[in-house]
Chains A and B, each alone.
Chain A
């Protein structure tokens, strides 16, 4: 099967998922990737041939940083390469695409399935034209017009955003990184400004505060949405995604599960046994994303989560929860990029 043939099949599944087809497609995608991606094939050879989706060998995110071992399941030049964020000098992960059709379809359909308004009015991030290697900006570009992007030249246009939001009379949707929201709230606080968005407005935040030196409980963060935008927690959604994925998981409000779409599945696995934990158990997220056709569909994250049936409650990778040795651990010394 060629890339295009499999892509078309997956596109049909994304638009009209058929019950019980995920596993068959996942194994099909695995076989395709093993055949067309030498680096992944060599890695997969270390594992028994999977008979079920759970057995598909998952690559760690750090594999996307290996120069000379591109996780490409296609020939020729990519049409896009998205890079993980990272500080100067840090190696950034690279995710190659030979077509963005699946990414766009997964992003749009996933957004709609999460019950979010079709159109995004404001994006607290740079535009895809400005941040050409940002997968998040590219995704937002499919959901919003160019004028919606409020970070320009690396600067959040606070005054413009404040004035525009103040004039809104109909419900609005704002999509941005958690850090950008936080920055906006701090600016509003400094100006003693509190806005009240129209009833029915929604905010979607994504990413954490990694690398910013900020520590903020989610409850406190969501309280800021209420204080500065007049949005109750249930009007705030969280998108869990990453540069290395093409699909996203969403939750709304506080203390609820993240849900994925029918073409992406999260497994909470015990890091010691690599077996799926029982319901309520804590483990590491392993994600099988069929929209990742051009790279690798099975990814091993470092994020911890609690399994809730087919969904999960994200615990994240809270550095404060990590054991701190007197010895300096890798996590603290080697800054690793994550998607914005």
Chain B
């Protein structure tokens, strides 16, 4: 498959098998992605007009993707990008594997499948052969690979991010189900998973009531999306956090906690204090009244902001987020479904990997 247009057709077919993870991806979405980032769908295959000259984008010959297990979405999207670019891909999966990866690989055409090598242990030569290294992981993992890449290799890191929601208006508390879904997907382990929801009380909403409704919605959503089997460390963290907030709620009416009956499936904590609270993840979510200056309340995590899910997603509410620099502001309920054209980390994912060659002569 020599051209991007040929690859687009095959990739759209394969992506259907993982639509539950990547969302619906049609050929036109992939065309739009290339157009948005490279200006033209054929920019990888030919010189295309750019300003007063022509340019052609060259993809890395080999891309090493080091992905984490907590968000299969990121792992799949990274490979999808590499295949769309026409690169050969070294796909380093987490040691426990990734079921979605198997599904996607099986769905690839033979020609595309040949462009992917897969391993759960990183072969040493992959790092040296790759012209681009993409790493998803902890700060420690990123630091480890940053030290190991050469100056001539493109290095793209996707580290920890913190996300949250903001509800500006919702007289009937309809957004609770959307918020619950955003929290529950990927067991809240994704960089786009909300740790908490700020509720604007000046429009007649009550943050405490929102928390109570969210608790009901969490129960419903958890019935549809049962939590995964969590390791004891995670269960210990949930127990510790729950016990800590139970202690506080028993002594302070400004705190209230709702928990899944007889299980640690989900936890909702209402806290009047607006200071950003970091969740221990695994479907533990805070609800707080929206403070006058949100940027001050989230200052401790401001440099790690991922997405802000807002409801309703209307431009008139953007001033509430003044001073914050997430890479995405999206409707609540779509936090886990970034479009392909999302500027993760504030950069274009395709544009970030290509090198341009300009031609200032005449094309025949």
B189 touching A326, Cβ below 8 Å:
yes
Closest to B137 in A: A324
Q: In the complex the two chains form, what is the Cα distance from A302 to B239 in whole Å? A: 9
Encode contact with A along B99-119: 1 for CB under 8 Å, 0 otherwise: 000000000000000000000
Contacts of A63 in B (CB 8 A): 243-244, 247
- The yes or no answer to A125 lying at the interface (CB within 8 A) is no
Lowest 10 CB-CB distances: which A-B pairs, in order? A328-B160, A325-B189, A271-B235, A326-B191, A60-B243, A42-B250, A62-B244, A271-B239, A330-B278, A43-B250
Q: In the complex the two chains form, what is the Cα distance from A302 to B246 in whole Å? A: 16
Q: Known: A60-B243, A325-B189, A326-B160. Contact between A45 and B232, CB under 8 A?
A: no
Q: Kindly identify which residue among A60, A274, A327 contacts B160, using a CB–CB cutoff of 8 Å.
A: A327
- The yes or no answer to B195 lying at the interface (CB within 8 A) is yes
Distance (whole angstroms) from the CB of A288 to the closest CB of chain B: 15
Closest to A303 in B: B236
- The yes or no answer to B231 lying at the interface (CB within 8 A) is yes
Quick check: which of A162-170, A174-182, A241-249, A331-339 contacts chain B, the rest being far away? A331-339
- The yes or no answer to B188 lying at the interface (CB within 8 A) is yes
Distance (whole angstroms) from the CB of B287 to the closest CB of chain A: 16
- The yes or no answer to A282 lying at the interface (CB within 8 A) is yes
Distance (whole angstroms) from the CB of A14 to the closest CB of chain B: 28
- The yes or no answer to B214 lying at the interface (CB within 8 A) is no
- The yes or no answer to A58 lying at the interface (CB within 8 A) is yes
Distance (whole angstroms) from the CB of A278 to the closest CB of chain B: 14
Within 8 A of B (CB), among A259-316: 270-272, 274, 282-284, 300, 302, 304
B234 touching A323, Cβ below 8 Å:
yes
- The yes or no answer to A69 lying at the interface (CB within 8 A) is yes
A326 touching B238, Cβ below 8 Å:
no
- The yes or no answer to B213 lying at the interface (CB within 8 A) is no
Q: Kindly identify which residue among B189, B233, B301 contacts A333, using a CB–CB cutoff of 8 Å.
A: B301
Contacts of A274 in B (CB 8 A): 239
Chain A CB within 10 A, most for which of B70, B190, B230, B236: B236
A329 touching B233, Cβ below 8 Å:
no
- The yes or no answer to B263 lying at the interface (CB within 8 A) is yes
Contacts of B160 in A (CB 8 A): 325-328, 332
Closest to B68 in A: A326
25 sampled A-B residue pairs with Cβ under 8 A: A39-B250, A43-B250, A58-B243, A59-B247, A62-B240, A63-B244, A66-B247, A271-B232, A272-B264, A282-B232, A284-B239, A300-B240, A322-B237, A323-B230, A323-B233, A323-B234, A324-B70, A325-B190, A327-B70, A329-B237, A329-B281, A330-B241, A330-B280, A330-B281, A332-B139
Contacts of A1 in B (CB 8 A): none
Within 8 A of A (CB), among B77-95: none
Distance (whole angstroms) from the CB of A55 to the closest CB of chain B: 15
- The yes or no answer to A190 lying at the interface (CB within 8 A) is no
Beyond the given pairs A270-B235, A327-B306, A328-B162, 13 more chain A to chain B contacts, judged by CB atoms under 8 angstroms and listed by A's residue number, are: A69-B248, A271-B238, A284-B236, A300-B240, A325-B70, A325-B188, A326-B136, A326-B159, A327-B162, A327-B189, A327-B192, A328-B301, A333-B278
Q: In the complex the two chains form, what is the Cα distance from A58 to B231 in whole Å? A: 22
Q: Known: A304-B232, A323-B233, A328-B162. Contact between A59 and B243, CB under 8 A?
A: yes
Q: In the complex the two chains form, what is the Cα distance from A241 to B306 in whole Å? A: 39
Closest to A333 in B: B278
Contacts of B189 in A (CB 8 A): 323, 325-327
Q: In the complex the two chains form, what is the Cα distance from A313 to B19 in whole Å? A: 45
Interface size class of B (residues with CB under 8 A): 35 or more
Contacts of A38 in B (CB 8 A): 251
Q: Known: A326-B74, A326-B160, A327-B195. Contact between A302 and B236, CB under 8 A?
A: yes
Distance (whole angstroms) from the CB of A224 to the closest CB of chain B: 23
- The yes or no answer to A46 lying at the interface (CB within 8 A) is yes
- The yes or no answer to A79 lying at the interface (CB within 8 A) is no
- The yes or no answer to A16 lying at the interface (CB within 8 A) is no
Q: In the complex the two chains form, what is the Cα distance from A333 to B280 in whole Å? A: 10
Contacts of A328 in B (CB 8 A): 160-162, 278, 301, 304
Q: In the complex the two chains form, what is the Cα distance from A303 to B339 in whole Å? A: 41
Contacts of B248 in A (CB 8 A): 66, 69
B246 touching A272, Cβ below 8 Å:
no
Contacts of B252 in A (CB 8 A): 69
A39 touching B251, Cβ below 8 Å:
yes
- The yes or no answer to A321 lying at the interface (CB within 8 A) is yes
Contacts of B278 in A (CB 8 A): 328-330, 333-334
Q: Known: A282-B232, A326-B74. Contact between A331 and B280, CB under 8 A?
A: yes
Q: In the complex the two chains form, what is the Cα distance from A284 to B238 in whole Å? A: 11
B247 touching A60, Cβ below 8 Å:
yes
- The yes or no answer to B163 lying at the interface (CB within 8 A) is yes
Chain A CB within 10 A, most for which of B138, B158, B304: B138
Distance (whole angstroms) from the CB of A83 to the closest CB of chain B: 18
Distance (whole angstroms) from the CB of B328 to the closest CB of chain A: 14
A326 touching B71, Cβ below 8 Å:
yes
Within 8 A of A (CB), among B210-255: 230-241, 243-244, 246-248, 250-252
Q: In the complex the two chains form, what is the Cα distance from A60 to B237 in whole Å? A: 11
Distance (whole angstroms) from the CB of B142 to the closest CB of chain A: 11
B264 touching A324, Cβ below 8 Å:
no
Contacts of A327 in B (CB 8 A): 70, 160-163, 188-193, 195, 281, 306
